[in-house]
Amino acid sequence: MSGRWRAATTAALAALALGAAPAAPAAPDPAGGSPAQLLTELQRLHRELGEATETYQATARTLAERRARNKRLGTGLAKARVALAEGRDAAGQLARRQYQGVVEVSPTLRLLLAADAQGALDQEHVLRRAARDRVATVERLTAAERRASGLARQARAALDEEQVLAARQRAQHQAAREKLDEVTALVSSLSPDQLAEVDGLEAERGEEAGRNLVAAGGLSSASAVPTRRGERAVRFAVDQIGKPYVWGAEGPDSYDCSGLTQRAWASAGTGVPRTSQEQWAELDRVPLRQLRPGDLVVYFPEATHVALYLGDGLVVHAPRPGAAVKVSPVAANPVLGAVRPDPDGPPVPEYEPPALPEGAREGSDTGYAQKAPPES
C-alpha cells in the first residue's frame, strides 16, 4: 500500500494537535535517493521519534505518580493540621485552668486532713489520672506539631519536584513534536512511486530477516505449545486484529503496541507492566529459540516496540500510527529479545491455533516504536 507511510504520519500529526505548532523543517530533497536510502532515513526518523516519545511517556508516568503522592501528602497534612488544632485547644484549656488558680495540694497532707480517708484516696486516684491526661495532652500536641511540620516540608519539596517534572515533560513533548515534523516533511516530499518502492523493500526485508533468523538457529521452526493463560492471551490479541493504532490506547477499540500486549495478558488473568521498556525490564527473559505462543517479542535496542508471539514465526502487534493491529513476521523489526509473562505455567495438553481473519497480514509490518506524542 503506497500510501501507508503518508497515512501513518498524518495520523501521528493529528494525534499531536497542539494548536500553535512549531514551524515544520524544510522538506528534504529525495532526488537521487534510492528506495534503500529513503527507507533507511524513514526508519531512522521513526526510531528517533519513538525514543523521544518513550522518554516523554516515562516522564508523564513519573509525573502522574508524583501528583498522586502529592495528593496523599496534602491529605495527610490536612489531617495533621486538624490534629494540631485539637491539641492546641486542649493545651489552651489546660493553661486556662492553671491561670484560674487550680492549685494542687500535697497528697499526704490531703490524706491527713481528710475526714474521709477512703474518699481522699479515691480523689487522689482521680487527680493522678488527670495529671496523666495533662502530660498526654502536651505529648500529643508536641507530636502533632512535629508531624505537621514534617509533612509541610515534604509537601513543599514534592511540589518543587512536580514543577521540575512538568517543565521537563513540556520540553520532551516539544522535542517529539519537532521529530514528527521531520518525518512529515520527508514523507510529504516522496512521490507515490517512491512510497510504493519503499513499502515493497520494507516488506521484503522483514521476510528475509525472519528466514535468516530461523536459518541461524535463533528461532525454532517447530511449533511450540502455549500455557493455558498464554492461549487466552493469543486468542484475545487475534480478536483485536484490524483495530487502529492510537497512541496511549489500551482498548477496547484501539491500542498502542504495549497497550495491546498488556490487555491481552490481563484478559488471561496475568498482569504485565504498561510499557514495552518495562515489560522488557521486569518480565522473565526467554531465548528466541524457545518461544511459545503468548510470549512477548521486544524490538530495537531501546526496547521501544513489542509484539505478542503467535507461533510459526509470526507475531500480532499494533505497529504504528496510521496502521491497525495485524500479523507480521517475527523479525519484521530488529529483534531485541523475548520475555515470558507466565514462566511457570504448564503447557496446555492440546492446542489449536486461532484462525486468522482475512487480511490479517495486510499493511505495514514495521513498528519503529511508534507512539505519536499526545496532546499536552
Q: Which residues are catalytic?
A: 257, 305, 317
Phi-psi region of 313 (alpha: psi -120 to 50; beta: other; left: phi over 0): left
Written as nine digits, the cell of 17 is 494537535
Closest-CA residue to 306 (of 289, 322, 290, 282): 282
> Cα 300 from chain centroid?
18
Q: Where are the alpha helices (DSSP H) in 190-337?
A: 192-215, 228-239, 257-267, 276-282
Written as nine digits, the cell of 80 is 495533621
Residue 296 vs residues 75, 182, 201, 316: alpha-carbon distances, Å: 40, 31, 26, 10
User: Which stretches of the chain are assigned E, i.e. beta strand?
Assistant: 284-286, 296-299, 305-311, 314-317, 326-329, 335-340
Alpha-carbon distance of 65 to 59, in angstroms, equals 10
At 341 the three-state DSSP class reads coil
For the chain, give the number of residues. Answer: 376
